[in-house]
Every structure is written in structure tokens, then in C-alpha cells.
Chain A
Amino acid sequence: MELVNPILEFKKTCVSYSKQTMAVKYVSAAIERNTITAIMGPSGCGKSTLLRAANLMHALYPNIRVDGEILLNGQNILSMEPIEVRRKIGMVFQRPTPFPTMSIYDNVLAGYSLNGIRLSKSERNEIVEKCLRNVALWDEVKDVLNKKGTFLSGGQQQRLCIARALAMKPEVLLMDEPTSALDPIATKHIEDLILELQKDVTILIVTHNMGQAKRISSRSMFMYLGDLVEYDDTEKMFSNPTDERTRAYLTGKMG
């Protein structure tokens, strides 16, 4: 596997919930710019934990410890301010999380208001339209922008959350099983959207759906019990995995 222009790099990254349990063990991997990289693995393998560490979500929970380095454009984010990091590295969660008290319009702009950035009316309108068009939601919601975000269907809510993350123009977008709470049609929409987005943003997506990884990602990681077992081009990994555990997982003998 060849990396031309990596943007994000895990260097011996470890995440532990307590002294005894290490959820992620010495993971080293570089993520190529403007590609989609999937992280696969059975439940509890540490894939979400690794992803959340890249957004410094662990800073919320004093019991979680992250060691090693996570580099964004060569800079270690673990020693940066979370606020600064999270503006550059956006995140979309498993369940859609529109802010329940905000309208669709305000949800898209939430990143700005939460950062205390003031925008003119025309700037706001422009960002909202552009971001909602980016996630193919504009035509569906342009007449109901003042309704609450929770008024939308699950798939629409998730697209709204992606629009909200994109509004901050992140360099990397982390997605934690973004379609696992959605039906197949909504999932298809989101997958098409993710493929479309990679020209603007680097996407790192956690999924336990092998089909999804195969459909959208160009590179895949396979994690098992906190170890990064294999990391390769998706095509190569699905056709000819190197590690026995990867093979077992991909063929459904382990899951």
C-alpha cells in the first residue's frame, strides 16, 4: 500500500480505560489525504475508541488515557487544545444528534455559534444552502428551515449532522458507524454522499458492515482486540488478506 500525501497519522497510539484494560494497543497507521479509509472489526475491538481519540473525545472522561501520538499535518494533536483540534477534525456519531432546540437552519450553523463566530445574514444563508446542498438535503428542507432538526427522518437527521460538521470546513471527518441506525435506503444516500465528499475532506469511517467498507473505502483497517491487525488497500484486503484473523472475519468465521 502506497501513501502519497498522508494527513492524519497514528503513531503507537494507545487508549486505556483503566490500568488493566487497554482498548487500543500501539496502533500505527497513516491516513491518506482526500480518501475514504474504513476501520472494521468486531464489537469491542477498539475501532470507535481509536476514532474518538482523534477528536480528543476522551478529554471528557478523566478515566481515559491516550498515549503515543496522533499527528495532523505533522502536528501532535494530543498536545493541542481540544477546541482547536475539533474545528479541524469533525465528527459524525452513530446516532443522529441534531440539537433538539435548534431549527434546521441553526443546526447547520451550530458550529459557528458554539465557537462564538459572528456571521452576517448573507454569509449565514450562503453557508446553510451550500452545506445542505452538499449533503443533498437542500431540496427536501429548503421550505422548512425554521422547523426543529428533530422533525426530520433519521436519515435526514444524519445528513443534517454531516452538513453541520462540514459547515466548519474540517480537514478530516470522522464517522462512527454513521449508518448503523438507518434503513437501507437512507444508508445508500449517506454512502453516496460520503463518496461525493472525499474530494473536499478526508474521511475516516468506522463500520462493522463489511459490505459498506467494500463499497465506499479505498483503504481499510482491520482491528481485533485493540490491535491493528491489517491495514491495506480495500481491494487487496478483501481479495487477499495477509492475516489469518482478517481472513476469518471477512469470510464470516469470526464476527
Chain B
Amino acid sequence: MIMNDMKILQRLYTDKIFKIAVCLFAALTAIPLFAILGEVLIKGYSQLSWSFFTEPTPTAYKAMQAVAAGEPIPGGIANGIIGSVIMLGMATVVAVPIGILCGVYLAENSKKRFAIIVSYITDLLQGTPSVIIGIITYVWVVVPMKGYSAIAGSVALFIMMLPLIIRSTEETVKILPASLKEAGLALGGNNARVTLKVILPSAFGGIFTGILLAVSRVIGETAPLMFTALGCSFIRWDIDKPISAVPLLIWEFFNDPNLQELIWGASLFLLIFVLSLNLTAKYFAKKWNS
């Protein structure tokens, strides 16, 4: 009996040690995130001001003058914000309907040969390095259009968003009970109406979460935009001309010794934007699941 008690005690201890180890490792993964957040917050916080969001990037000369006079660098990242919003907007508007329709198709025909092939292609597309998507979009869009443009940038972002939206739609629609679709069809609805009025509304939460995550995933993409949008130092609304984006600005600031100060403000903005999109997505996913 005593032997038994000892064994049980031993097991309890092992269990406890294991639990502590797991918690420790879980805490370790949080360290990089908080370290990044802290660093960016400390360095970028002082730069955030109204003009940082409303004014375009200063010229190197102006920045140099300000630095020499010991003043803060004038200007901000408005050109990048506007460029990002324009390109993300265009990419989302096109990617959402196509992605949702494709996702629904894949979910409802998962055994068909064609659907299996499309599904593989989606996976491959999702795994394609963004720099390759950039160079391909350069060849497909920038070269024929004879110039860099917001259109080209949004095409690259569209290609990156598409597989994310397809997958999230597919996963969401797949977990809906089959009885939902059957009940819709049993009332005499055709496939299209049942999909639009029953399936998609029921899956809305998951699909919306997927779209938010797709946007937050590509908003920080830099490489594909270097080949397509190129960048622009003033505020511009034309979609057929080169345009800036927040991640492009961070890269430009890094390359210009006079502007390096601005890196942190831009990074902080991007980081907060992505984190809040993620949190919103989480909130919707939770609300939808309950």
C-alpha cells in the first residue's frame, strides 16, 4: 500500500513539474511580442502627432535642416496611409467576392476532382513567397502598363489575399451542419438562393474574421509593393501612378539617414493597426461562435 501511495505522490509531482514547464514555455513565446511592442512603443510614441498622420514624407533636405536646427523632423506618413488604404481597398473589393465564391465551391464539392485541384493550387498560392508574387505582378501588370502604379500594387495584394479568404470561407462553410443546406433545399430553394440566404449569412462571422485577418496579413507586405507600387513622396490619389504605402515608407526611411527617425512612428502605426485588426477579428470569431 505504501508503495502505491509513493507512486501516486511521484506521479502528482511529475504532473506538477510538467505543468510548470508548459506554462513557462508559453510565457516565453509572449516575450518576443511584448519586447517588439515595447521597443516600438518607446521609440515611436514621441513621433505620433496630428501632423504625422496628415502630412506627407518630408524631403531629405527639409529633414536635414530640422535635424541640424535640433527640431523634430517635419511631415509624416499620410502619403503611405492613403496609398495603403487605396491599394488594400481595391484588392479587398475584388478578392472578397471571388474568394468567398471559390471557398463555398470548395466546401460544397470537396470530393470533386476539379475542387481538389483548386484546393491544392490555393495552398501553393498561399505558400508562394511574396517577393515572387511581386516580380510576377511586375511582369504581368507593370510592364504592359508601362509604369508602376497603385493598380499594380493592388493586384499583388489581391493575389496574396485570395488564398487566405478562400481558405477561411471554405473552413467556415464546411463546419456548418449539412442539415442547414438540406433544410433550405427542402423548402424548394435553388442552390444559389440557399447559398446566399442561408449558408453565407450563417457563415458570416467566420468569413468576416477571415477577411480581417487577410487584410492584416497583407497590410505589412513590403516586397511585392517594391516591384509594383514603387512609392511616392507626396500625397496622391491617382491609381495609375506610383503610390506609397506604410511598409514601403519604413523601408525608405531606413535607407535615408536623414529620415531614420521616422521609422518608429511608422512602425508603431502599422503595428497598432495590425494588432487592432487581429483583435477585432478575434472578437467577431468569439461572438459568432457563441
A interface residues, Cβ below 8 angstroms from B? 55, 57, 60, 82-84, 86-87, 90-91, 93, 95, 97, 99-102, 110-111, 113-116, 161, 164-165, 168
Instruction: Return B192 CB to nearest CB of chain A, in Å.
Output: 10
Instruction: Return A1 CB to nearest CB of chain B, in Å.
Output: 29
15 A-B residue contacts at CB 8 Å? A57-B186, A82-B185, A83-B189, A83-B190, A91-B183, A93-B186, A99-B197, A100-B202, A101-B202, A113-B193, A114-B194, A115-B187, A115-B189, A116-B193, A165-B187
Q: Which of these, B182, B198, B204, contacts A93 with CB under 8 Å?
A: B182
Asked if B201 lies at the interface with its beta carbon under 8 angstroms from chain A, I say yes
Instruction: Return B160 CB to nearest CB of chain A, in Å.
Output: 30
A176 to B4, CA, bound (A): 54
Q: If the complex has contacts A100-B202, A101-B202, are A114 and B180 also in contact, measured as CB distance less than 8 A? A: no
A255 to B193, CA, bound (A): 41
Q: Are A115 and B188 in contact (CB-based, < 8 A)?
A: yes
Q: Are B184 and A99 in contact (CB-based, < 8 A)?
A: yes
Q: Output the nearest chain B residue to A57 by Cβ-Cβ distance.
A: B182
A101 to B183, CA, bound (A): 14
Q: Are B201 and A101 in contact (CB-based, < 8 A)?
A: yes
Q: Across the interface, which residues of B come within 8 angstroms of A165, CB to CB? A: 186-187
Q: Across the interface, which residues of B come within 8 angstroms of A168, CB to CB? A: 187-188
Cβ contacts B194-214/A at 8 Å (1 or 0 each): 100110011010000000000
**A-B contacts besides A99-B180, A110-B184, A110-B187, 9 pairs, CB < 8 Å:** A87-B187, A90-B186, A99-B202, A102-B201, A111-B189, A114-B187, A114-B190, A114-B198, A165-B186
Asked if B289 lies at the interface with its beta carbon under 8 angstroms from chain A, I say no
Asked if B255 lies at the interface with its beta carbon under 8 angstroms from chain A, I say no
Q: Are A86 and B186 in contact (CB-based, < 8 A)?
A: yes
Asked if B46 lies at the interface with its beta carbon under 8 angstroms from chain A, I say no
Instruction: Return B194 CB to nearest CB of chain A, in Å.
Output: 6
Q: Which of these, B181, B187, B193, B201, contacts A86 with CB under 8 Å?
A: B187
Asked if B29 lies at the interface with its beta carbon under 8 angstroms from chain A, I say no
Q: If the complex has contacts A114-B198, A115-B193, are A57 and B187 also in contact, measured as CB distance less than 8 A? A: no
Q: Across the interface, which residues of B come within 8 angstroms of A60, CB to CB? A: 181-182, 185
Interface-central residue, B177, B186, B189, B197, by most chain A CB under 10 Å: B186
A97 to B181, CA, bound (A): 10
Closest 10 CB pairs of A and B: A114-B189, A87-B188, A101-B201, A97-B183, A111-B187, A91-B186, A86-B188, A97-B179, A114-B193, A114-B187
A113 to B187, CA, bound (A): 10
Q: Are A111 and B188 in contact (CB-based, < 8 A)?
A: yes
Q: Across the interface, which residues of B come within 8 angstroms of A90, CB to CB? A: 186-187
A168 to B184, CA, bound (A): 13
Q: Output the nearest chain B residue to A86 by Cβ-Cβ distance.
A: B188
Instruction: Return B14 CB to nearest CB of chain A, in Å.
Output: 44
A205 to B183, CA, bound (A): 16
